[in-house]
Amino acid sequence: MNFGFSEDQEELRKMVRRFLEEKSPESEVRRLMATDEGYDPVVWAQMANELALQALGIPEAYGGQGFGPVELYVVFEEMGAALLCSPYFSSVALAANALLHVGTEQNKSAYLPGIASGETIATLALTDDAGQWDLTTTSTTASFDGSSWTLSGVRNYVTDGSLASLVLVPAVTPAGLSLFAVAGDAAGLEREQLPTMDQTRKQSRLVLSNTPAVLIGADGGALAGLETTLQIAAAALAAEQVGGAQRVLNNAVAYAKERVQFGRPIGSFQAIKHKCADMLLDVESAKSAAYYAAYCAQELNDELPIAASLAKSFCSEAYFHCACSWVIPPTTANSWPSVWASKARARPRATAKR
């Protein structure tokens, strides 16, 4: 099996990397981490209008570019390397995939063009207060009065939940687990932003009280499509982690070459060589896991559930190990290495079950 990227995919990587080097330097990441919104609307619009990144994985019939998970994961890898602060993961990996795998043609035509154009920031509200990723235990309920649906319940740890103009909510009906679309300004929807370990990605708690909603797909038919969405999102998250781990390794090696101690670069010391070698082994192994998960997501084959879980689990630990190994510079609560470490450690909680 060939895990190499095509020439067009490598060009996509270079284009996204150049863009993020300009738009997501360390100073900008720190600034956006401290804001309630957590992203720059101007950069978000540029991503949509100049690079068409939000449209990349959406079929052309719904205003997208028609590419698959492999191209998307190239983008996620570069975003992970740059610590980009944006609602890209929630809109593209979560919400768009949920619509594609659960929604009807009418649903897709109604919501996907807005995500593709960048006009709609969307998310998927997966868990309740218990924080369980088991969709069969969903506590939010839906009621139908003969003409419209309303939802009641609590959704917690919702990525970009306070920011989204479209929230997709799994809820239980007499027919089983269903998926619903809720407008960000809907009556009866209360949103509270939560403190997070990973400050580059905002999370919120949502309370729904007889909130108007639109059914996505068939009543009671959401479980299989949402499970597939979780698997694809887990693989995308693994790609982000690979990008972050590679960036940490690059920074550590560069610093080891520049820092001089006892008259020579510290990279010449055996202990530092071993530390960098261990990080390299973690990164390369994580790439193998993440790229295979991307292939399985592209094919939607039977190995996707295992490949996505394996990639998410291994890449989380590899990223955390690399971030914590980068202790050559002094690390404090506000130092740049500590930002990488907090982002790596926060990821297993972020969006997909392991």
The answer to which of 94-103, 249-258, 290-299 has the lowest mean pLDDT is: 249-258
CATH of 7-117, one of 1.10.540.10, 3.40.1350.10, 2.70.98.40, 1.10.10.10: 1.10.540.10
Number of H helices, E strands in the chain: 11, 9
Q: Is the pLDDT of residue 100 over 80?
A: yes
pLDDT at residue 335 is higher than 90: no
C-alpha–C-alpha distance, residues 273 and 202, integer Å = 37
Going by pLDDT thresholds of 50, 70 and 90, the confidence category of residue 215 is: very high
Residue 265's pLDDT is 84
A 10 A CB-CB count for 46 gives 16
CA torsion 292-297-299-300 (nearest 10°) is 130
Residue 77 has pLDDT above 70, yes or no: yes
Q: What pLDDT, on the 0 to 100 scale, is given for residue 80?
A: 96
List the one residue out of 100, 94, 15, 87 whose CA is nearest residue 45: 87
- Residue 141 scores a pLDDT above 90: yes
Q: For position 344, what pLDDT does the model report?
A: 59
Q: How many CB atoms lie within 10 A of CB 52?
A: 17
Cα gap 207→210, rounded to integer Å: 10
- DSSP-assigned states of every residue in 77-118: HHHHHHT--SSHIIIIIIIIHHHHHH--HHHHHHHHHHHHHT
Q: How far is residue 202's CA from residue 241's CA, in Å, rounded to a whole number?
A: 17
224-350 has which CATH code?
1.20.140.10
Give the pairing of strands 122-124 and 166-173. Answer: parallel
For the chain, the distance separating the N- and C-terminal CA atoms, rounded to the nearest angstrom, is 25
Q: What is the pLDDT of residues 193-212, one digit of tens each?
A: 999 888 899 999 999 999 99
pLDDT score of 290 more than 70: yes
pTM exceeds 0.85, yes or no: yes
Q: Give the DSSP letter string of 289-329.
A: HHHHHHHHHHHT-TTHHHHHHHHHHHHHHHHHHHHHH--SS
Q: Give the span between the Cα atoms of 310 and 293, in whole angstroms.
A: 8
Let me know if domain 122-221 sits in CATH 2.40.110.10. Answer: yes
- Nearest to residue 102, comparing CAs of 231, 213, 217, 229? 217
Predicted confidence at residue 334, as pLDDT, reads 45
Name the residue among 330, 345, 170, 324 with its Cα closest to residue 259: 330
Domain ranges of the chain: 7-117, 122-221, 224-350
Higher pLDDT, 325 or 351: 325
Q: What is the mean pLDDT of the chain?
A: 90
Residue 336: band (very low, low, confident or very high) from pLDDT cuts 50, 70, 90: low
- The whole-number pLDDT of residue 42 equals 97
Which of 53, 41, 48, 167 has its CA nearest to residue 111? 167
> Are 178 and 323 in contact, with CB atoms under 8 Å apart?
no
Report which secondary-structure segment, H or E, holds 124.
strand 122-124
- 8 A C-beta contact, residue 332 and residue 184: no
Of 180 and 197, the structure prediction assigns the larger pLDDT to: 180
The model's confidence at residue 350, banded by pLDDT at 50, 70 and 90, is very low
Closest CA to 302 of 202, 228, 205: 228
